Chains A and B, each alone.
Chain A
Amino acid sequence: MSESVISVSELTRRFGAATALDSVSVSLPRLVGANGAGKTTLIRHVLGLLRAESGSVRVFGLDPVADPVAVLSRIGYLSEENDLPGWMRVDELMRYSRAFYPAWDDAYAEELRRTFALDRAATIKNLSKGQRARAGLLIALAYRPELLVLDEPSSGLDPIVRRDILGAVIRTIADEGRTVLFSSHLLNEVEEVADHVTMIDHGRVVLSAPLDAIKESHRSLNEAFIAHVGSAATPAAEA
């Protein structure tokens, strides 16, 4: 896994009076933070949906705002908001998404569709929340992106769907050796897939170390989280 896939340097972002990110310098993709720590803001910078007010963000060495096509065509993204168009059918979603990615693998897409038990003729708005997450994951994986960004994809989902998502992440990392930026409220899930973790709190980096080293000093990611971020905070993580 390349350390330089995502490189963030001195990134600051304010929303009115609130500082979401404060001089964050980090080489992702392994990150843990509490709710409101700035994880989604950071992900939105990585995707070019937010422009760096100060500092810089580079993905594959490119500025995602200046060069969105080059960056986004190499990223698979599953949004926390799961805003897939409700009016599309599953086969239309696959056909539409296929047009944007030259590396789209029809056989792999079909395999994922079968694995996730998605009916081709089903309309997205009629799918359950879990099925919608699976459909989103399908179009994020089917072109084997170099970087997979999953922004709290398991939020509010049942254990079976969470297992599917985690399985896909593990397969992407283990079998294909690609980079995954995974955001989750379930730290035990993160422990299964992360090898290096950076924690942020109130927009600042408070810890950055290999997962093994964190486990040696704190026994678990949970303890490290409580020690560095505080017990009052709700655990959330990206790996």
Chain B
Amino acid sequence: MRSPALAIGWEFRRRHRWGLMAVAGYLFVVAMIRFLILEPGEPVLVDSVRFAALVSVPLTTTFVYLLAVFSFGFAGDLAARHSMYPARMFTLPVTNAALVGWPMLYGTAAVTILWLAARLFAVWPSGIEIPVIWPALLAAALLAWTQALTWMPYGLPGMRLIVAVLCLAALDTVVLLALHFKAGEPRMVAILAPQVPLAYLVARFAVARARRGEVPDWRGMFARPANTAVLTRGRDYFPSPARAQAWFEWRRHGRSLPALVGLLLPFELALLWLAKDAPAFVFEILFLALITPPFMAACTAWTVSEPTPQVRDSYGVPPFIATRPLTSAELIAAKLKMAMWSTLAAWLLVLVAMTLALEWSGTWSVVTERARRTNDAIGTPRAATVVLLILAGFIVATWKQLVQSLHIGLTGREWIVKGSVLITLTLLILLGPIVEWIIDSPSVQRALWNALPLILGILVGIKMSAAAWIATRLDRSRLLGDRALVAGAACWVLAVLALYGVLVWFFSTPFVAHYQLALIAILAVPLARISAAPLALAWNRHR
């Protein structure tokens, strides 16, 4: 192997040979169905569920897999600030153009072949004209931008995910709009073709920066006020190890969420000035601002269980943390506390910014008018409860997003972390067709409604069984003492009862039985996954 291009190509092929063989196997199977099972010329009538199972879901999964392969996503850390391009390759005697160009070229070739093969071999419903070029170009553009954005170094942890999601969603929106206005293939090609060279230039810039070791660090912008005011009270000493560890977690992960929310909010709330003459949009914009913290929390959650990047084993607990004289439960408690501070800081930002934006944009009257009408309709106590419940729900959801995947990331096992990502992506891909199936089928809706108590009962059974198993393990491994376990269980029961009380008070309808509300309350209050976090950390810390 005398050429860098061949060596880079060989690495992709060698490392991902099983996955690539699985893709080839899938294409072979659909080709067999197309050419051996179906009669030539026979009209193909497939419903949306079968089409999703046979073509769209496997095709999308394969595409996401290829995105991960050719952007080095399996080896990098999506939440980290530094580039995901493997640093070991920066010392190879090749130009930046080669480092960027070859993975981009191989990736473009792979996704183009995937599309052309799927178009040729897959079972497409009769009567639909399947385009040839632009879907391949769209796939290539999405891949090229994914590569460019994941290889770029960022100033804040988790920022890569947000920038990538926003940019790729923007590209998707442009394509959907073009389709909506029935743009033909030449116009689609004209829109998509410049994307690949443009992404190449961005990727080259990104790799050049990463190669020079230029990683911006914006974390310091938020360090001093929060650090001194909230947790350490000036230059005083920490009163306890728990406070010291909470400060450590805050400095490492706590500021990412408020920072990212703070970056997005001005752009979202600026739309209020445009919505002055369209009051209906005011609430959509406010809803957008309200879902920003939970959405951002889901994006930054990976960083909460992120290990130190310079450690050899990138998933293991860094020795500096592992050798703290604290129990694994205390280390987790510090993370939960940090997540709480981070959530509150983000929501303080949202509430202050929303109030100021409503006032300054002159749209405050739209909100007060809606509040007055709600008051008239359901009464002040219920209206106030609704507002508080919605706000509390959003705040709890933000905190939950930050901490609910701790038990995955802290295991330190690559196969669990990557398996979990794969399962989540698969579920997200399946979600669309399933929801469509339910919406299209009244009989399914009826069956689901009738089976709702059973479904809730099964879910509660699974949750409580998992919680009981986890509690037993926590007790046996002495990670939590008896008192802590009992106190935790009591707090959880109190939270469930409080939520149940509110639900019963609010949903006083004969259509929903009280026991169903109790089941919903049990499912809504976090228990099993958070309780599993100390076990996961102990498993990682004492291998």
Instruction: Report yes or no: B311 in contact with A81, Cβ–Cβ below 8 A.
Output: yes
Which label, helix, strand, loop or mixed, suits the secondary structure of the A interface? loop
- A100-B542 in contact given A83-B319, A84-B320 (Cβ < 8 Å): no
Bound CA–CA A49/B241 (angstroms)? 20
Please tell me if B312 contacts chain A, counting CB pairs below 8 Å: yes
Interface centre among B243, B252, B543 (most CB of A within 10 A): B543
Please tell me if A116 contacts chain B, counting CB pairs below 8 Å: no
Write the A72-115 contact mask toward B (1 if CB under 8 angstroms, else 0).
11010101010111111000000110111100000000000000
Within 8 A of A (CB), among B207-251: 219, 232, 235, 237-241, 243-244, 247-248, 251
Contacts of B325 in A (CB 8 A): 68-69, 71-73, 100-101
Please tell me if B285 contacts chain A, counting CB pairs below 8 Å: no
Contacts of B320 in A (CB 8 A): 79, 83-85
Bound CA–CA A86/B310 (angstroms)? 10
Minimal Cβ-Cβ distance residue in B for A15: B543
Contacts of B310 in A (CB 8 A): 81, 83, 86
Contacts of B541 in A (CB 8 A): 48-49, 68
Instruction: Report yes or no: B543 in contact with A72, Cβ–Cβ below 8 A.
Output: no
Give how many A-B residue pairs fall within 8 Å (CB-CB). Answer: 83
Please tell me if B318 contacts chain A, counting CB pairs below 8 Å: yes
Contacts of B318 in A (CB 8 A): 81, 83
Instruction: Report yes or no: B238 in contact with A96, Cβ–Cβ below 8 A.
Output: yes
- A77-B319 in contact given A49-B542, A72-B324, A101-B325 (Cβ < 8 Å): yes
Write the B270-311 contact mask toward A (1 if CB under 8 angstroms, else 0).
000000000000000000000000000000000000001011
Within 8 A of A (CB), among B312-328: 312, 317-320, 322-328
Instruction: Report yes or no: A98 in contact with B327, Cβ–Cβ below 8 A.
Output: no
Give how many A residues have a beta carbon under 8 Å from the other chain's beta carbons: 28
Please tell me if A65 contacts chain B, counting CB pairs below 8 Å: yes
From B244, B323, B478, give the contact of A99 (CB < 8 A): B244
Please tell me if A209 contacts chain B, counting CB pairs below 8 Å: no
Please tell me if A18 contacts chain B, counting CB pairs below 8 Å: no
Q: Knowing that A51-B542, A69-B325, A95-B235 are A-B contacts, what are 6 other residue pairs whose CB atoms are under 8 Å apart, sorted by A's residue number?
A: A49-B323, A68-B325, A77-B319, A87-B252, A96-B244, A99-B244
25 cross-chain CB contacts under 8 A:
A47-B319, A47-B322, A48-B541, A49-B317, A49-B322, A49-B541, A49-B542, A66-B478, A68-B541, A69-B327, A72-B323, A77-B319, A77-B323, A79-B323, A81-B312, A81-B318, A85-B248, A85-B320, A88-B251, A95-B235, A95-B238, A95-B244, A96-B248, A98-B238, A100-B324
